[in-house]
């Protein structure tokens, strides 16, 4: 590992100032991914700016009923928080489907969003990877890619985003709050991560020096039925082969609101807008769900060895939609 | 701006098993290496060194974490409990250590310190009302979560045992929560 300087700022402004004054700096949250990537030589920061102890560790309801989650709230605490469990169950379930108890105790909300792909070619310095080293090629395209993307990938990169939490945030219409040299802005969680296109080295829309300060969940004082379901190679402690987060509201016998997102299938959480549009106004029947989900998944372009992901994602979505609307269909 | 930093080293004070320990650490050093190499506490084990096996699990401020992924410089002022600190000053092992012995909760023993620290953290989390992946979502939030076998297995999934002593490990944990 390359030697690096270490600073622990006491405020968000000190943190962004420290970043601006230190070329090659990186923000450090819980470190569960960044420290690992430093050990592998994938990340080689000149300085770490430790933001894990910034006073951003609250989960609070705002006057308008939305819920603001500070960027340093640990994944385990967020999953257990009564506001999250009661109003946004898909978020709690997604967090608990990820990693291990130890890792969730360390990982932060902001860091979870910024974790890098677990593509083995990205993590192996001896292999080509356009994300790690632009222009070097993609080893996975014709290589071992069973775990890789089936939607939205390019010839430059077929990696998937590994976060479970981010999939729930996309389906829930959460927003990501960023603090940077130009001030504060907020972007939709569903648009925070990018598709690879010609620039797979850029995972997100975050600008250099910007710091995630919070995630804001939309006002749902009465909650809405939502759930997360994930398929993986073993029962626990594995990344998603495919997953789905869904929020559905049925009013007067028709779908009045639907938020649907897939995980493990693309370079970002895949918000299924076409499926949502098809669901709106439809009666919550199995046939309507199949029609909507199939409409979304016609865009899938599986690689040589991962076509299984399309029916897997389909089955997960149909199951979750049926479960969330069971009482409305009874 | 944080602790005293000199280029690529900083002074940190860790409270390890109840005793304050002040040392100058290279920023690259993780807690696991500091415990084993600098503080003569080899209980926490280096398995994968990438947060995938759980052999390095210790408690930081009462919460279980992978010490192989925590930079020591980040932990200035923190309370660290390793397997060496569980028995206290007495000769008697901690009840969970006793249960592992009585239930034969290991073969080679390499993962055992991590299993024990992880189980202690997991039991505390359940008592504090933290749900797990297998907890019924209908369970009211804030209440302690009862730990049946499925809960114990899920909550300890971050600790691998390549000897396969899992059934006995689950029994040992069941013994101490009864």
Mean pLDDT of A197-218: 98
Mean pLDDT of A93-118: 98
> So where are chain B's domains?
5-85, 95-177
Q: Kindly report the average pLDDT of chain B as a whole number.
A: 95
Q: How far apart are CA B101 and CA B120, in angstroms?
A: 16
Mean pLDDT of A116-138: 98
Q: Kindly determine whether residue B51 and residue A102, on different chains, have CB atoms separated by under 8 Å.
A: yes
Mean pLDDT of A121-140: 98
pLDDT of residue A329: 80
What would the pLDDT profile of A274-290 be if each residue is shown by its tens digit?
999 999 999 999 999 99
Distance of CA A167 to the CA centre of its chain: 5
Q: Kindly determine whether residue A6 and residue B158, on different chains, have CB atoms separated by under 8 Å.
A: no
Q: Using CB atoms and an 8 Å cut-off, which of residues 101-120 of chain A contact chain B?
A: 101-103, 105-106
Q: Give the pLDDT band of residue B88 (cuts 50, 70, 90).
A: confident
Mean pLDDT of A168-175: 98
Whole-model pTM: value is 0.98
Domains B5-85 and B95-177 equal at CATH topology level: no
Answer yes or no: are the C-beta atoms of A87 and A64 closer than 8 Å: no
Q: Which residues of B are less than 8 Å from A82 in CB distance?
A: 141-142
Q: Is A235 on the interface with B (CB under 8 A)?
A: yes
Nearest neighbour of B69 by CB, restricted to A9, A36, A89 = A36
What would the pLDDT profile of B99-149 be if each residue is shown by its tens digit?
999 999 999 999 999 999 999 999 999 999 999 999 999 999 989 999 999
For chain A, domains (ranges, CATH) are 5-52 (3.30.43.10), 226-329 (3.30.390.50)
Q: In terms of CATH architecture, what is B5-85? A: Roll (3.10)
Answer yes or no: are the C-beta atoms of A287 and A184 closer than 8 Å: no
CATH of domain B95-177: 1.10.150.120
**Among A94, A100, A2, A86, which residue's Cα sits nearest to residue A44?**
A2
Q: Kindly report the average pLDDT of chain A as a whole number.
A: 97
Which 8-state DSSP code applies to residue A117?
P
Q: How far apart are CA B123 and CA B110, in angstroms?
A: 21
Maximum Cα interatomic distance, chain B, rounded to a whole number of Å: 52
What would the pLDDT profile of A212-242 be if each residue is shown by its tens digit?
999 999 999 888 999 999 999 999 999 999 9
Q: Is the pLDDT of residue B3 over 70?
A: no
Cβ neighbour number for residue B162 with a 10 Å cutoff = 12
pLDDT of residue B4: 61
Whether ipTM exceeds 0.90: yes
């Amino acid at each position: 590992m390359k030697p690096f300087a270490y600073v622990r700022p006491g405020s968000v402004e000190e943190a962004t100032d420290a970043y601006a004054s230190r070329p090659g700096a990186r923000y450090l949250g819980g470190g569960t991914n960044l420290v690992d990537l430093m050990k592998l030589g994938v990340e080689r920061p000149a300085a770490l700016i430790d933001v894990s102890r910034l006073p951003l560790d609250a989960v609070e309801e705002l006057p308008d009923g939305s819920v603001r989650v500070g960027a340093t709230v640990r994944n385990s605490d967020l999953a257990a928080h009564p506001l999250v469990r009661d109003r946004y169950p898909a978020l709690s379930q997604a967090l608990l489907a990820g990693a291990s108890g130890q890792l969730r105790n360390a990982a932060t909300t902001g860091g979870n969003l910024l974790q890098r792909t677990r593509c083995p070619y990205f993590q192996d310095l001896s292999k080509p990877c356009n994300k790690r080293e632009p222009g070097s090629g993609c080893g996975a395209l014709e290589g071992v890619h069973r775990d890789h993307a089936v939607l939205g990938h390019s010839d430059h990169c077929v990696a998937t985003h590994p976060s479970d939490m981010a999939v729930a945030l996309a389906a829930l219409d959460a927003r990501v709050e960023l603090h940077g040299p130009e001030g504060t802005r907020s972007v939709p969680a569903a648009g925070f991560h990018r598709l690879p296109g010609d620039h797979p080295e850029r995972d997100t829309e975050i600008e250099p020096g910007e710091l995630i300060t919070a995630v804001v969940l939309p006002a749902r004082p009465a909650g809405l039925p939502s759930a997360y379901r994930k398929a993986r190679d073993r029962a626990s402690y594995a990344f998603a082969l495919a997953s789905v987060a869904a929020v559905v509201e049925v009013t007067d016998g028709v779908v009045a609101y639907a938020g649907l997102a897939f995980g493990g299938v693309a370079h970002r959480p895949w918000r299924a807008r076409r499926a949502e549009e098809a669901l709106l106004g439809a009666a919550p029947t199995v046939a309507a769900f199949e029609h909507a989900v199939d409409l979304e998944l016609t865009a899938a372009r599986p690689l040589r060895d991962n076509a299984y992901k399309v029916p897997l994602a389909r089955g997960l979505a149909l199951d979750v939609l049926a479960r969330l609307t069971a009482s409305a269909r009874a | 701006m944080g602790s005293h930093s000199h280029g690529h080293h900083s002074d940190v004070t860790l409270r390890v098993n109840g005793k304050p320990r002040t040392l100058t650490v290279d920023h690259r050093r993780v807690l696991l290496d500091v415990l084993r190499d600098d503080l003569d506490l080899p209980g926490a084990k280096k398995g994968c060194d990438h947060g995938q096996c759980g052999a390095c699990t210790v408690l930081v401020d009462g919460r279980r974490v992978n010490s192989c992924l925590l930079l020591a410089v980040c932990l200035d002022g923190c309370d660290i409990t390793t397997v060496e600190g569980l028995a206290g000053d007495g000769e008697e092992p901690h009840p969970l250590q006793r249960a592992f012995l009585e239930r034969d909760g290991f073969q080679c023993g390499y993962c055992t310190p991590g299993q024990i620290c992880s189980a202690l953290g997991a039991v505390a989390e359940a008592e504090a009302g933290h749900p797990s992946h297998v907890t019924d979502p209908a369970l009211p939030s804030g209440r302690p979560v009862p730990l049946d076998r499925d809960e114990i297995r899920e909550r300890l999934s971050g600790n691998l045992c390549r000897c396969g002593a899992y059934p006995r490990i689950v029994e040992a944990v069941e013994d101490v929560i009864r």
